[in-house]
Structure 1
Amino acid sequence: MDAKRICSRDAISWLPDEVLGSILSLLPTKQAASTSLLSKRWRYVFRLVDNLDFDDSVSLHEGEDQQARYVFPESFENFVDRTLALQCDSPINKFSLKCHVGKDDERQRACVSSWISNVAGRRVLEAELRIKDMGIHYLPPQLFASKTMVKLSLGAELYLGKLPSCVSLPSLKFLFIDTVCFEYEDFSCVLLAGCPVLEELSIRHKDFIVMPNNISSPTVKKLSVLYDAPDEVDGGSCISFDLPNLVYFEYSDCALSEYTKVNLESLVEAKLDLCFEENAEKPDVTDVMMGIRNVKILHLSSSSVEVIHSYCRYGLPVFHNLVNLSFGSFKNKRGWKLLKYLLKQSPKLETLTIQDLNGYPGVVSMPPNKVKVLHVLGYQGTVEELKHLKSLVGEFQCLTLVQVSKWMLYKRIIA
């Protein structure tokens, strides 16, 4: 009986080192690192851990305000130093670093640079760097010369200094930017230019004044741009999209007065969530609509419907490929007028989704169309809604299916 208990307690020691390393990689880094104290064998096993996650928020003392503290504690620095030293030069699959850096604390910046350089030299595949620094932060050149990195996430509230003149990330396929300020033209002309196989790009900016206004790449296939600009940024700004191989486009922003270039020739699906600030310069979204004219699937939020109706100054293009259209709710007759116009400009449209019947003006004369499937979302089943639904269905001669649901379309993503 005693022998069975001993065997049961020590069964984990019979596992191969590679298996133990994989198990430890699933644990929080602090717990995994603590196993190195068990024996010499476990110190070796810890070197096989290929996922490292460092977060200085776990070092907060009770009652301490994380938002007010732009500095990581000495205990956090010591833990990261010891952990990286224990691992020597073992390869890293995923590295995550979340920390606050003092505005004028060059020693802390040197620590962060050393940690990132260490990992970049260990054939890292994924790196997530969420560094809050109120001053200008220079990331080490080793990060931008990684030959193995496939996925990179940068943020948040980070003012980057000048990037290395030659960025070379030959394996990077996924790039996520969250509230990062770049030097002029560094984003597209230096960073994106150094990513020859980049496929997915996500840019989020919240409460930041300086945002990338030139997004250009010959390889990106999926792009999400989610801007939530402060009051200082208005419709007088401009942006350009030069992505000839883009397939999926998600764009959430205040509508701007100028879109200097919109090259999206390969686009298949687009999701627009445009709004308008009353005190801003009047926008013009004509170039955006022209740029997405090749889409097969188009989603428009309720605010986008308002903006396009009011600020597409030179009319809509013909959407020769559009087969699936989702429309936000209509607060007035303008939305229904835009729907009529879109039906006229979309000769192949077969599936139409409408947010709800709010603001339906009664009898609507729709142009001839090929719509076969009609979805009405947010349907509550009231007598008035049923009346409007019957009237609307009568405007589509080719319908084969009508579906009603309480589910709504997507809402604005940035909280």
Structure 2
Amino acid sequence: MYSKKLNIGSKDVINSLPEALIYHILSFLSTKEAALTSLLSRKWRYLFAFVPNLDFDDPVRMQPDMANQEETEIHTGFMDFVDRVLALRGNFPVSKFSLKCGNGVDDVGAKRWILNMLELGVSDLDLRLALDRNYLFPLKVFVSKSLVKLRIGARNGLAVGGLIMKVGDVSLPKLKTLCLDSVVLDYQIICLAKLLSGCHVLEELALVNLSWNFWESCSVSIPTLKRLTCCIEEDWINPPPSVTFDNPALVYFEYSDTVALKYEKLNFDSLVEARLGLRVGYEETENAIEFPDGIPLTFIEYVTVGDATDLLMGLRNVQVLYLYASTLEVLTFCCKAIPIFNNLTHLTIESKTKVGWESLPNLLKKCPNLETLVFQGLLHKATDRCGDVCPCKPPENIPTCLSSSPVKVLKILKFGEVNDKTELEQIKHFLELMPHLEQLNIYYDTPVDDNLVKVSKQLQEISGVASAKCKVQVISDNLTLSVTLPSSLSI
């Protein structure tokens, strides 16, 4: 077969590329990677320093086991590299500045870089720092007229550095996205309230690991906010006394924390999707027992506290809901009543072996228009109160939860994670009782195709199914099998 080669003569393709295209190519690389392109040609030699986005990542950050001397040399080289790039750039504007560095990087130098970016009109500032314990965040960040997106966090989201935030005057007229991750707020609640009050067009807010469990109260009340992530991952057993969420424009809400003693005010008029990772809270009480010999014995008892009832009522109009396994415990022990979720069409349940499904039957009954039900795993702690949602403890009465379920699509994720036999019994239970089911998808995490074939054959041996039109698929990364349930088995 004849092929004609393209004749480009002696033309230098690399050097002939327009600078705008080169900047676009370099924008997909970190600044360190982009700097390597300076070897391609003279034209490319300094262009890496003028891309719209600057991304500096301290190499030691990813290698914590280095020897001290080697670590010091790398930190020195890193700081020299940043200084050289910024010197080359001069007063050329910058769109995004990302800085990730750990202990050993000079905090004075880091502060100088940040202030330099503010002077250049940076709109996106991403800072993940773990510096000296005495490091104070530069106050000028909070009076920037150019910032649209701001992220401030400790290294890798770990509060191992002393990133202390004080807040003076706050005026962030363009800021739409704010993320605070594992930072230490000076004067805590006052600092946060003052910061948020200066963000008049904020649309997205993420508060991660701020340890507000020690605060008397916490309030997030922003009329313009559309997305709110509030995740306190530390496993505190003491609940926050009072929490307020007054966000009428909010469409997405992610909340992980020990359930509060009280939810003072809730406004979620526009909410569409929510993810809840609530944890049961406990309160210490001292009890004394006096033995016959007159010697008293004092012991500590933990009593369940907190009430999620008002929070659930505030979320009752949500359309998409994801519940972590710990939230099911809260619904069981820290919720007086589950409201009716009339608008809920998509529900995801995370399941863990140490958490029971006591609250699940009542929850499903309160979802009259639910169309899609997703289980993130099926294994759970078997209890007498699982009701007809689970075959682990056969109900004494006629089943009402699943047999009245409106669910049309059922998805089982993480099938075969621990015990596929037990999980298969649970799936058969769903098929036997859910009358409106049209689609069942089982996602099997297995590289062995024969495992899918085996599960498919076992499903075909069900003695009776509630929905004759239900289509079943067993899915893995390599294979998808459709399972036809004989219509003669339908009941």
Instruction: Normalising by structure 1, report the TM-score.
Output: 0.79
Which residue, out of 153, 160, 164, partners 2:168?
A: 164
Identity of aligned residues (%): 34
**Corresponding position: 1:362 with 2:394:** yes
- Which sections of structure 2, spanning at least 5 residues, go unmatched? 1-6, 283-301, 383-389, 446-491
Which residue, out of 100, 113, 116, partners 1:115?
A: 113
Bigger RCO (CA 8 Å, 6+ sep): 1
Task: Give the structure 2 partner of residue 150 of structure 1.
Answer: 148
Deviations 1:219-266 (A, max 9, x none): 2212222222155x6225543322221111122223333333332222
Correspondence 1:218-229 to 2 at 5 A: 218-229=223-234
Matched residue of 1:267: which SS? coil
Deviations 1:70-107 (A, max 9, x none): 998333332222211110111212211122356xx9xx
Is the contact made by 2:182 and 2:208 (CA closer than 8 Å) also made in structure 1?
yes
Task: Give the structure 2 partner of residue 375 of structure 1.
Answer: 410
**Corresponding position: 1:325 with 2:362:** no
Correspondence 1:388-407 to 2 at 5 A: 389-397=427-435, 399-406=436-443
Which residue, out of 159, 176, 179, partners 1:176?
A: 179
Which residue, out of 326, 332, 349, partners 2:370?
A: 349
Structure 1 residues 385 and 137, CA gap change in structure 2 (3 angstroms): closer
Structure 1 residues 70 and 171, CA gap change in structure 2 (3 angstroms): farther
Structure 1 residues 357 and 141, CA gap change in structure 2 (3 angstroms): closer
**Corresponding position: 1:260 with 2:264:** yes
Matched residue of 1:228: which SS? coil
Matched residue of 1:73: which SS? helix
Instruction: Normalising by structure 2, report the TM-score.
Output: 0.68
Which residue, out of 321, 325, 342, partners 1:302?
A: 325
Q: Distance in 1 between matches of 2:175 and 2:33?
A: 30
Correspondence 1:185-224 to 2 at 5 A: 185-186=189-190, 188-205=192-209, 213-224=218-229
Is the contact made by 2:60 and 2:75 (CA closer than 8 Å) also made in structure 1?
no
Task: Give the structure 2 partner of residue 21 of structure 1.
Answer: 23
**Corresponding position: 1:291 with 2:325:** no
Task: Give the structure 1 partner of residue 464 of structure 2.
Answer: none
Matched residue of 2:66: which SS? coil
Q: Distance in 1 between matches of 2:322 and 2:272?
A: 12
Q: Distance in 1 between matches of 2:206 and 2:99?
A: 19
Q: Distance in 1 between matches of 2:185 and 2:199?
A: 16
Matched residue of 2:208: which SS? strand
**Corresponding position: 1:244 with 2:248:** yes
Task: Give the structure 1 partner of residue 460 of structure 2.
Answer: none
Counterpart residue type for residue 224 of structure 1? T
Q: Distance in 1 between matches of 2:209 and 2:45?
A: 42
Alignment RMSD (CA, Å): 3.9
Is the contact made by 1:362 and 1:391 (CA closer than 8 Å) also made in structure 2?
no
Is the contact made by 1:274 and 1:307 (CA closer than 8 Å) also made in structure 2?
yes
